[in-house]
Chains A and B, each alone.
Chain A
Amino acid sequence: MNRYKISSLTFSLIFMCMLNSSLLGIIFPYILHESKTSFYISLGISFVVGLFLIFIYLRIFNFMPDKDIFKKIEAIFPKWISKCVSFILMMLVFLLTIIIIWRLVTFISSEFLVETPNLFIGLLIAAPLLYASTTDFDVIGRLATFCLAVAFLLLVFNVVSLFSQVDMNNLKPLLNFDLMHTGKSVLVFTFIVLVPAFLTLVIPKDNVTNSNKVTRSILSIYTLEMISIFLIFFIIVSVLGINIANIYTFPSYAVLKTLSVLSFIQNTENISILVWVLLMTFAGSFCLLFLKSGLKSLFNFDKKKTQLSSLLFIFLPFLGIVLFMLPYEIYLNKFQYVIVPWAINVSIFVILVLIFVIGKIIFKIKKITV
């Protein structure tokens, strides 16, 4: 499992793809609802807070460079506690995967295939996911390169064609923020966007060639990603207006409905939005690979077949139950589909930081005693 080698450029591209995993349908409507036209203030503050989180991530990444996150847990804690911690981490990532796939399936079933039962859409999405999870991380790296090439082209095409419909008056009133709303949106944005990318800790640093360039590439990728997210927000608010953007469940899909180039390329939203399908499938397959490494270190599965079958038997029925029992969005509490992933992401982050801190303490004690 640890025999692959990826370059630092590929590593940062995987990082960038994972940053995009929860945008559609979770981040866009929530931030637009909370901070309305002052979204740029929330984005700016989130950028700075995110830099701080990335700094912590890089410290964990450089600590014990030859071990991935599960082996780090095994080295730090005694045997049974390490198994418990690994298990808890795996359960949280499993729930995160389910939420990402569920969001994707509800998006497809509400906009595209309105009459098909959710179960079959789930099976359709599961086919590339499971195929990708039989392979290794270097395959995921190459898939990330392809995903980002397509995403970049479509983003450029959409932004350029929608630019003629931008109306700067829709961005006003400029400063209608207050501390509570901005604080909420900053916290939610930072954790939901960044923590899935921290799951790349499952790739140990020694498997990355040119590892001295990793810091620089991750920071530049992060900046690039924040700029493109800002651009998308800007286009949504300035083309549609904040009031319309707030009534839609998927505002990034609704803004593409207004695209009209040369009066014959119209209604191409069904083709342009497929990039989100690509990115969310990628995120799902990366999380499944994470679970595969976890299973291997937890139960010492050596054979490929046992790993795969255990993954299959856990993932598929759970996905089926979720899709069957929760077919539509639950608005018990208006934005419950944002609070649940936020809680999961915060717990994952807290566990990662705890592992790092306890690891450092134990190593210092060992150094002092030895």
Chain B
Amino acid sequence: MNTKEIIKYLEDLKKKMPDLIIKDINVGVFKHVYIITNEAVSSGDKVNDFILKHFSGLSIVGSTPLKNLKRDVEDNIPSINFKNVSDRDSLLELLFSGFTIIIYKNEVIAYETRAELDRGVTEPTGEPVIRGPKDSFTENYNKNIGLIRKRIKSEHLCLEELTIGKQTKNKVGIMYMENICEEDIVNQMKDYLGKINIDGVMDVNNFKSFINKENHTLFPTLLYTEKPDDTCRFLLDGRIAVTMENSPSVLIAPTFFVDFFHSSEDYYHKPFFSSFIRLIRFIAYFLAIITPALFIAIITYDQEVLPVSLLINFTVQRSQVPFPAIVEAFILMFTFELLYEGDARTPSTRGTSLSILGALILGDAAVQAGLISPIMVIVVAISAISNLVFIYYDIQGSIRFWRYVLMILSALFGMVGFMCGFILLIINLCTIKTFGKPYLIPLAPFILKDQSNALLRRDLTKINKRPSYLAKKNVVKEVNVK
């Protein structure tokens, strides 16, 4: 590469990019070393301390001329990371990644002086923790990998890197345990990511639209997590983790239906308690979907299920409301959706007025105005509270959609419509396949051996095998319990 051409190009670039610094140092007669850096992404201290100090120390008179830049830099400037640059594209890429470019006599090397532009390791904001480690991933790629590596100190933890995004050129890392994970999954993930051809990705969650596209479903097939201890648990099970620069979450693949009912805290409590909590989550999921539909079917088509006193009570309440039951349910559910969305986006300074307004609508005032009946408020509230058990946002999409479908079908056909809607939901769940494995495993292709960690949790000393549907290579854990 011609030094003069590059310098001329960079001088042109400087007109639209004032944060580009081009420094010219004399090291000998008519010999110039050019130091180029972008002051926004590189750390000025490092540039000053190491590079400029060294080159400024090489005075014009009385020193040996610089024969080989690379050798000189290698011997004299302490650094772990420097790269050879061979073309203009990689030069620009490295420049914007925080590297300092040193040019001398057609030879170009890049030296790492990255600035710390992230917020440090803090507590997880989206997944609150009661017991267990409280660190979370940050936007720094190396720190994320570091948080994982310090927990799995094994030589089998592999990392494969890709670059995705034409303009953003983000580094993407795929981590997996090579002695546990199947190669098919890794190859398939590399296939998916290799086919991505877009301008830029901002976060690792953008990949969800590209992976597992062939399933027509609302159920989430990928899990994202902010916590390193969860990630390491998944890696040891035989899954892969996809991490990306500038993204504080990590994608886990493949994920199954039962994983959305687990949380890492289950392993930090006693097994009986954890099984109980998991069962409650499972029941809450189905309560959230079926409660309004079941209620509408019972009070409009199959009223004989209710005892007489309850029937009379409901009739008195519903006689004050002018709408049919389905319309009332829709009004309330829609109000609740508005409340929920508002709550998610509101800063804490405005939270109080939102809760007061919400209480007005969903409370006594609306009942006394004659718009809704108290029993419908309770039914919708039960459904909404069960919805809130799942902090994972993606699974709420499935709950919300199927809730409305079941409500419509049960308003049209009663209990039979409710049953048909439920069958449709189950068939939809059964058709999903992630990375070649069925979504409902180990529940639906019923594997008896894996039930110890599916819905209930057995004692950790008794689980000595990894899930057999994931870790075919290395099923027995290396557990030594006396």
Contact = CB atoms under 8 A, between A and B. Distances in A.
- Direct A/B contact, Cβ within 8 angstroms: yes
Interface of A: 6-7, 9-10, 13, 108, 112-113, 116, 121, 124-125, 127-128, 131-132, 135, 138-139, 141-143, 145-146, 264, 266-268, 270-271, 274, 277-278, 281
Contacts of B424: 127-128, 131
A204 B440 CA distance: 24
A113 B416 contact: yes
Given A9-B446, A142-B445, A267-B304, A274 B419 contact: yes
Contacts of A108: 416
A139 B430 contact: yes
A146 B416 contact: no
B460 interface: no
Contacts of A278: 419, 423
Nearest to B419: A274
Nearest to B307: A264
Given A113-B301, A124-B409, A131-B427, 19 more contacts: A9-B446, A108-B416, A124-B413, A128-B427, A131-B428, A135-B430, A135-B431, A142-B445, A143-B427, A145-B444, A266-B304, A266-B305, A268-B305, A270-B305, A271-B302, A271-B305, A274-B415, A274-B416, A281-B420
B445 A7 contact: yes
Contact of B415 (A7, A125, A266, A271): A271
Given A124-B420, A146-B444, A271-B305, A139 B427 contact: yes
Contacts, number: 85
B417 interface: yes
Contacts of A270: 302, 304-305, 415
9 contacts: A10-B445, A124-B409, A124-B413, A127-B424, A138-B445, A141-B444, A143-B427, A145-B443, A267-B304
A141 B427 contact: no
B238 interface: no
Given A7-B445, A10-B445, A112-B414, A142 B430 contact: yes
B98 to A, nearest CB: 49
B426 interface: yes
A133 to B, nearest CB: 10
B439 to A, nearest CB: 9
Contacts of B415: 112, 270-271, 274
B438 interface: yes
B426 A143 contact: yes
Given A6-B445, A10-B445, A146-B444, A124 B416 contact: yes
Nearest to A140: B430
Contacts of B428: 131
A142 B438 contact: yes
Interface residues of B, number: 26
A125 B430 contact: no
Interface in B392-436: 409, 413-417, 419-420, 423-424, 426-428, 430-431
Contacts of B409: 124
B413 A113 contact: yes
A238 to B, nearest CB: 25
A277 B305 CA distance: 19
Contacts of B427: 128, 131-132, 135, 139, 143
Contacts of B414: 112-113
Contacts of A116: 413
Contacts of B419: 274, 277-278
A112 B418 CA distance: 13
Contacts of A124: 409, 413, 416-417, 420
Contacts of A112: 301-302, 414-416
A270 to B, nearest CB: 5
B430 A143 contact: yes
A287 B305 CA distance: 34
A139 B431 contact: yes
B294 to A, nearest CB: 9
Contacts of A6: 445
Contacts of A274: 415-416, 419
Contacts of B431: 135, 139
Nearest to B303: A267
A303 B430 CA distance: 22
Nearest to B417: A124
Kindly list the 9 A-B residue pairs having the minimum CB-CB distance in the complex, ordered from nearest: A142-B444, A142-B430, A267-B304, A128-B423, A139-B430, A274-B419, A270-B302, A145-B444, A135-B431
A125 B445 contact: no
Contacts of B301: 112-113
B305 A10 contact: no
B416 A277 contact: yes
A258 to B, nearest CB: 13
A139 B428 CA distance: 9
Contacts of B305: 266-268, 270-271
Interface in B351-380: none
B447 to A, nearest CB: 8
Contacts of A277: 416, 419-420
Residue among B307, B415, B424, B430 with max Cβ neighbours from chain A (10 Å): B430
Contacts of A266: 304-305, 307
A81 to B, nearest CB: 37
Given A128-B420, A264-B307, A278-B419, A145 B413 contact: no
Residue among A13, A135, A139 with max Cβ neighbours from chain B (10 Å): A139
A143 B444 CA distance: 8
Interface in B294-342: 301-302, 304-305, 307
B304 to A, nearest CB: 4
B438 to A, nearest CB: 6
Given A128-B423, A132-B427, A281-B423, A145 B416 contact: no
